[in-house]
C-alpha cells in the first residue's frame, strides 16, 4: 500500500513540475491504449469466431462462381474488414497527436518563462527554471507516448491486414 | 590752404622780433623794481615761518598728551583680556566637569535613548505599511518624531511608543469591521464598510482592498482576484458572528494580491495573440462547425442506411443505399454487365455527398499551426524592431513581445489538435459509408436477388 502511495507521490511531483499539459498527454495516452487493447482483443479473441461463421456460410453455398456469388463474397469480406479496421484511424490519429500535445506544453512553458522575464527581469534564474521544466517535460512525455503508440499501432495494423488476408484465402471459389 | 598758413606765420615772427628790439631800454627799470619787491617779501616770509613754528610747538605738546592717554588705555584693555582669558579657561574646566556630572547622572538612560530610537525606526516601517493604519491613521507621526529626535524622549513619548507597539500587536489578532473612505479606481471616494483580518487582508463585502502606503488610502485592487477567492469573501462577510467561515488570506500582507494583478489572465493571453490569433480562432470555429454538420449528416445517413439494409425489398429515396437499390429494382431484367455499370454510375453520384467537407477539415487542421507560426514570425519581427529602437538593455521589453509571439503558436496547436481529432472521426464515418456503397451494395443486391429467385 505504501508502495502505491509512493508511486502516486512521484507521479504527482512529475505532473507538478511538468504543468497541466501532462494531463492532456495522459488522457490521450489512456484513450490510445484502451483503443489498442480493445483492438488486440477483437483481432485475437472475437474475430476468429466471425471468420469461422463466414467460412461455414461460404462452404454451405452451392453457387460460388456466378457474378452474384462474387459480389456476395466481396460483401462479406468488406463487412469483416470494416469490423477489423474500425477505430484504426482514430488510433493512428491519437499517435500523431501525442508529439503535438508535447509541443503545446513546450510553447506554454516558454510563454511562462518569457512572462516571468517580462515581469521580474532575468535576475532570478530559479523563477525561470520552473517555466523551462514546464517546457521540456511535456515534450518528453509526448515523445514517449507517441513512441509507445507507434510501435504497437504498426503491429496492430499488420495484424489486421493479415487477418483480412487469411479470411480472403479461406473463401475459395469451388 | 597750406600756403596761406605759412605766410601768416612768417608775418607774425617778423613783427615779434621788431617789438623785442624796441622795448630793451624800458625793461631794466622794471627789473630793479622786482628786486626791491623780493627783498621786502623775504622779511614777511620769515615772520610767517616763525609763527607757524610756534604753532607746531604748541600742537606737539597736545599730541604727546594724547599718545600717553592711548597707551594707558591699551594697557588697561590688555589686562582685561588676560583676565577674561583666565575666566574662559576656568569656565571650560567647569563645563567639562558638569558634562561628566551629567553623563554620570544619566547613566543607563543613554543606552535607553538609543534603544528607543531604534525601536521607533523599526516600528515606523512596519506600522506605516500595516493595514491597521487604515483603521487608525496618523500613528506614524509620533514615531517619525522619536526616530529623528536629538534630545531625550519624555516619559509621555515613551508611553506613546509602547502603546503604538501594543496596538499593532493587539489589533493584528483581531477581525474587525469599520467604516472608512475607499478611493475607487475612477478616483471617487466613498465611505464603505471594510473588514480587516489581522494585518493580513482588507476587504469590503465583495472584494479585496489594499492599503496604499504612499497616499495612505484604501484602494481596490487593479484587477479583481479569481472568482473562487471572491466567493469565499461573500461567504465570510455574510456569516453570522461566532460562526466559522473559510477565507483566503494573503500571508504576505497584500504583496501576493498585488502580484496577482500583474499576472496575465487567460483572456489577456488570448488577446495577446493579436489579429493572427483571431484568424486562428475563426479557423477553429469554421472547422468545428463543418465537422459538426458532417457528423450529424453522416450519422443520420448511416442510421437510415442501416434501416434500409433490414428492408432491401422496399428502397426509399431518402438515403444513398436506397437510391442504389432503386436502380437495381428499375433494371431487374437487364443483364449483369449492364446492371453493374448502372450501379457504378449510381454510386459515383453518391460519393460527393458523403465525402463533402472532410478534406476541408483536414486543410483547416493543417492551416492552424501554420498560422500560429506566422504569428510567431510577426511577433519576432516586432521584437527585433523594438531591439533596433531600444537596444537589448532591458530584457523585459523583449520578453513581453516574445511571449506574445509564442501565444500564437500555442493557439495554432490548440486549434489544430481538436480539428485533427474531429477529422479522423468524420473521415472514419464517411469511409465506412463509402465502403457500404462501394463494396457492399452489389453484394446486398446479389443476396436480395438470390432470395427472390429462391
- Point out the residue among A103, A104, A118 whose CB comes nearest to the CB of B403: A118
ipTM of this predicted structure: 0.81
How much is the pLDDT for B5?
57
Mean pLDDT computed over B385-410: 82
How much is the pLDDT for B71?
94
Q: Which of the given ranges, A118-122, B296-300, B391-395, has the highest pLDDT on average?
A: B296-300
Q: For residue range A121-173, what is the model confidence (pLDDT) as tens digits?
A: 777 788 788 888 888 999 999 999 999 999 999 999 999 999 999 999 988 87
- Point out the residue among B420, B428, B439 whose CB comes nearest to the CB of A97: B420
Which of the residues A25, A75, A131, A164 would you substitute to probe the B interface, choosing the one with the greatest number of B C-beta atoms within 10 Å?
A75
How much is the pLDDT for B12?
53
Phi, psi at residue B311, to the nearest 5°? -130, 70
Phi, psi at residue B195, to the nearest 5°? -105, 135
> To the nearest whole angstrom, how far is the Cα of A93 from the nearest Cα of chain B?
7
Specify the range with the lowest mean pLDDT, choosing from A35-44, A96-105, B251-260, B299-308.
B251-260
- What is the DSSP-derived secondary structure letter of residue B440? I
B410: nearest Cα among B356, B361, B358, B372: B372
Q: For residue range B143-173, what is the model confidence (pLDDT) as tens digits?
A: 777 777 777 778 888 888 888 888 888 888 8
The overall pTM is greater than 0.90: no
Q: For residue range A68-98, what is the model confidence (pLDDT) as tens digits?
A: 888 888 888 998 998 998 889 999 999 999 9
Q: How far is CA A105 from the centre of its chain?
A: 20
Q: For residue range B254-294, what is the model confidence (pLDDT) as tens digits?
A: 777 777 777 777 788 888 888 899 999 999 999 999 999 99
How much is the pLDDT for A174?
63
How much is the pLDDT for B77?
94
Mean pLDDT computed over B225-243: 78
Mean pLDDT computed over B39-45: 86
Better pLDDT: B75 or B246: B75
pLDDT of residue B78 exceeding 90, the answer is yes
* Other CB atoms within 10 Å distance of the CB of residue B412: 29
Q: What percent of chain B has pLDDT over 90?
A: 23
Q: Is B440 on the interface with A (CB under 8 A)?
A: yes
Which of the residues A31, A65, A67, A118 would you substitute to probe the B interface, choosing the one with the greatest number of B C-beta atoms within 10 Å?
A118
Three-state secondary-structure class, residue B407: helix
Q: For residue range B193-232, what is the model confidence (pLDDT) as tens digits?
A: 888 888 888 888 878 888 887 777 888 887 777 777 788 8
How much is the pLDDT for A95?
93
How much is the pLDDT for A113?
85
Q: Is B413 on the interface with A (CB under 8 A)?
A: yes
Q: Which residues of A touch B (CB under 8 A)?
A: 67-69, 71-79, 82, 86-87, 89-90, 92-94, 96-97, 100-101, 103-104, 107-108, 110-111, 114-115, 117-119, 121-122
- Point out the residue among B399, B421, B432 whose CB comes nearest to the CB of A118: B399
Query: What grid cell was written down for B158?
Result: 515613551
Give yes or no for a contact between A155 and A108, defined as CB atoms under 8 angstroms apart. no
Grid look-up 566637569 returns: B97
Mean pLDDT computed over B78-105: 92
Output Rg (C-alpha) for chain B, integer angstroms.
59
How far are the Cα atoms of A146, B179, B182, B261 from residue B205, in angstroms, in the given order? 51, 12, 13, 19
- Point out the residue among B403, B425, B432 whose CB comes nearest to the CB of A115: B403
**How far apart (Å, rounded) are the C-alpha atoms in residues B135 and B156?**
23
Q: Is B112 on the interface with A (CB under 8 A)?
A: no
Q: How far is CA B44 from the centre of its chain?
A: 104
pLDDT of residue B2 exceeding 70, the answer is no
Better pLDDT: B215 or B73: B73
Better pLDDT: B423 or B18: B423
How much is the pLDDT for B313?
79
Q: For residue range A160-173, what is the model confidence (pLDDT) as tens digits?
A: 999 999 999 988 87
Please, what is the average pLDDT of chain B? 83
Q: What percent of chain B has pLDDT over 70?
A: 93
Q: For residue range B324-336, what is the model confidence (pLDDT) as tens digits?
A: 888 888 887 778 7
**How far apart (Å, rounded) are the C-alpha atoms in residues B230 and A55?**
69
**How far apart (Å, rounded) are the C-alpha atoms in residues B284 and B125?**
54
Q: For residue range B5-41, what is the model confidence (pLDDT) as tens digits?
A: 555 555 555 555 555 555 556 677 888 899 989 888 8
The DSSP annotation for B330-399 comes to HTTTS-HHHHHHHHHHHHHHHHHHHHTTHHHHHHHHHHHHHHHHHHHHHHHHHHHHHHHHH-SS-HHHHH
Mean pLDDT computed over B375-379: 90
Specify the range with the lowest mean pLDDT, choosing from A58-62, B134-138, B379-383.
B134-138
Listed as own residue / partner, the contacts of B184-191 with beta carbons closer than 8 Å and 24 or more positions apart are: B184/B219, B184/B220, B185/B219, B185/B220, B185/B222
Amino acid at each position: 500500500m505504501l508502495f502505491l502511495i509512493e508511486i502516486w507521490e512521484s507521479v504527482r511531483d512529475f505532473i507538478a513540475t511538468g504543468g497541466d499539459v501532462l494531463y492532456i498527454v495522459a488522457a490521450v495516452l489512456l484513450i490510445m491504449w484502451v483503443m489498442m487493447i480493445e483492438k488486440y482483443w477483437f483481432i485475437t479473441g472475437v474475430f476468429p469466431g466471425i471468420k469461422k461463421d463466414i467460412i461455414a456460410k461460404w462452404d454451405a453455398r452451392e453457387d460460388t462462381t456466378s457474378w452474384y456469388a462474387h459480389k456476395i463474397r466481396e460483401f462479406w469480406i468488406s463487412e469483416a474488414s470494416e469490423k477489423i479496421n474500425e477505430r484504426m484511424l482514430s488510433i493512428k490519429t491519437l499517435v500523431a497527436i501525442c508529439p503535438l500535445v508535447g509541443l503545446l506544453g513546450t510553447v506554454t512553458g516558454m510563454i511562462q518563462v518569457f512572462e516571468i522575464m517580462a515581469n521580474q527581469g532575468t535576475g532570478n534564474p530559479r523563477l525561470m527554471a520552473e517555466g523551462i521544466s514546464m517546457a521540456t517535460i511535456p515534450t518528453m512525455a509526448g515523445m514517449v507516448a507517441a513512441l509507445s503508440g507507434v510501435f504497437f499501432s504498426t503491429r496492430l495494423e499488420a495484424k489486421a491486414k493479415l487477418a483480412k488476408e487469411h479470411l480472403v484465402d479461406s473463401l475459395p471459389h469451388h | 590752404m597750406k600756403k596761406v598758413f605759412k605766410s601768416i606765420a612768417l608775418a607774425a615772427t617778423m613783427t615779434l622780433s621788431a617789438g623785442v628790439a624796441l622795448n630793451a631800454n624800458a625793461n631794466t627799470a622794471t627789473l630793479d623794481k622786482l628786486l626791491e619787491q623780493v627783498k621786502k617779501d623775504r622779511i614777511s616770509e620769515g615772520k610767517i615761518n616763525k609763527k607757524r613754528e610756534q604753532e607746531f610747538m604748541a600742537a606737539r605738546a597736545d599730541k604727546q598728551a594724547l599718545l600717553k592717554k592711548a597707551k594707558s588705555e591699551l594697557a588697561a584693555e590688555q589686562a582685561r583680556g588676560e583676565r577674561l582669558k583666565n575666566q574662559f579657561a576656568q569656565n571650560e574646566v567647569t563645563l567639562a566637569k558638569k558634562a561628566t556630572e551629567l553623563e554620570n547622572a544619566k547613566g543607563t538612560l543613554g543606552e535607553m535613548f538609543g534603544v528607543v530610537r531604534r525601536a521607533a525606526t523599526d516600528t515606523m516601517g512596519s506600522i506605516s505599511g500595516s493595514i491597521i493604519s487604515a483603521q487608525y491613521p496618523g500613528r506614524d507621526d509620533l514615531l517619525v518624531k522619536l526616530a529623528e529626535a536629538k534630545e531625550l524622549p519624555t516619559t509621555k513619548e515613551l508611553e506613546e511608543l509602547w502603546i503604538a507597539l501594543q496596538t499593532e500587536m493587539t489589533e493584528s489578532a483581531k477581525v474587525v469591521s469599520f467604516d472608512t473612505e475607499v478611493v475607487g479606481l475612477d478616483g471617487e471616494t466613498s465611505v464603505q464598510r471594510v473588514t480587516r483580518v489581522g494585518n493580513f487582508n482588507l476587504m469590503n463585502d465583495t472584494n479585496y482592498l489594499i492599503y496604499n502606503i504612499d497616499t495612505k488610502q484604501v484602494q481596490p485592487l487593479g484587477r479583481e482576484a479569481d472568482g473562487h477567492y471572491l466567493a469565499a469573501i461573500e461567504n465570510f462577510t455574510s456569516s453570522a458572528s461566532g460562526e466559522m467561515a473559510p477565507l483566503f488570506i494573503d500571508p504576505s500582507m497584500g504583496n501576493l494580491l498585488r502580484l496577482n494583478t500583474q499576472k496575465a489572465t487567460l483572456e489577456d493571453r488570448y488577446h495577446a495573440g493579436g489579429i493572427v490569433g483571431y484568424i486562428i480562432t475563426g479557423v477553429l470555429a469554421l472547422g468545428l462547425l463543418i465537422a459538426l454538420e458532417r457528423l450529424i449528416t453522416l450519422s443520420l445517413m448511416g442510421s437510415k442506411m442501416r434501416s434500409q439494409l433490414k428492408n432491401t425489398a422496399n428502397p426509399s429515396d431518402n438515403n444513398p443505399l436506397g437510391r442504389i437499390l432503386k436502380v437495381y429494382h428499375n433494371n431487374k431484367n437487364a443483364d449483369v454487365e449492364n446492371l453493374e455499370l448502372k450501379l457504378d454510375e449510381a454510386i459515383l453520384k453518391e460519393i460527393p455527398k458523403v465525402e463533402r467537407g472532410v478534406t476541408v477539415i483536414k486543410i483547416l487542421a493543417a492551416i492552424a499551426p501554420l498560422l500560429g507560426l506566422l504569428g510567431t514570425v510577426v511577433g519576432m519581427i516586432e521584437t527585433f524592431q523594438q531591439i533596433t529602437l531600444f537596444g537589448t538593455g532591458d530584457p523585459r521589453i523583449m520578453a513581453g513581445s516574445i511571449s506574445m509571439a509564442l501565444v500564437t503558436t500555442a493557439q495554432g496547436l490548440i486549434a489544430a489538435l481538436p480539428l485533427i481529432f474531429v477529422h479522423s472521426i468524420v473521415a472514419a464515418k464517411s469511409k465506412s459509408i463509402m465502403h457500404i456503397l462501394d463494396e457492399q451494395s452489389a453484394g446486398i443486391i446479389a443476396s436480395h436477388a438470390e432470395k427472390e429467385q429462391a
